[in-house]
Homo-oligomer: A and B are copies of this chain.
Amino acid sequence: MTQPGMLGLIAGGGMMPVRVADAAAKTGRPVFCVLIQGFAMPADFERFPHEVVPLGQIGRMLGLMRGHGAEELVLAGRVARPSLLSFRFDTEGLRLVGKLGKRAIFGGDDGLLSAVLRLIEEEGFQVRGAQEVLGDLMVEAGVLTAQAPDALQRADIARGIAVAHALGVADVGQCCVVQQGLVIASSAIEGTDALLARCAELRREGPGGVLVKLVKPRQDIRADLPVIGPETVRGAVAAGLAGIAIEARSGVAGTLVVDREETVAAADAAGIFLCAVQPHQFLAEENAK
Interface residues of A (CB under 8 A from B): 81-86, 105-109, 155, 159, 162-163, 166-167, 169-170, 172-173, 176-177, 179-190, 198, 202, 204-207
Contacts and interface: CB of A to CB of B under 8 A. Distances in A.
Given A108-B181, A166-B166, A82 B205 contact: yes
15 contacts: A81-B182, A82-B205, A83-B179, A83-B180, A83-B204, A106-B159, A108-B181, A108-B183, A166-B170, A172-B186, A183-B188, A184-B189, A186-B187, A190-B202, A198-B198
B85 A206 contact: yes
A202 B189 contact: yes
B170 A163 contact: yes
B189 A188 contact: no
Nearest to A159: B106
**Chain A binding site: helix, strand, loop or mixed by DSSP?**
mixed
A106 B155 CA distance: 8
A78 to B, nearest CB: 13
Nearest to A166: B170
Contact of A107 (B81, B108, B181): B181
B86 A205 contact: yes
A182 B109 contact: yes
A108 B160 CA distance: 11
A106 B181 contact: yes
A184 to B, nearest CB: 6
Nearest to A170: B166
A202 B86 CA distance: 15
A18 B131 CA distance: 57
Nearest to A177: B188
A241 to B, nearest CB: 14
B162 A176 contact: no
Nearest to A111: B181
Query: 10 tightest A-B contacts by CB?
Result: A106-B181, A85-B206, A83-B204, A166-B170, A83-B206, A83-B205, A86-B205, A183-B188, A186-B188, A172-B183
A83 to B, nearest CB: 4
Contacts of A162: 170
A226 to B, nearest CB: 17
Contact of A86 (B83, B182, B186, B204): B204
Contacts of A206: 83-86
Contacts of A169: 166
Contacts of A109: 182
A189 B183 contact: yes
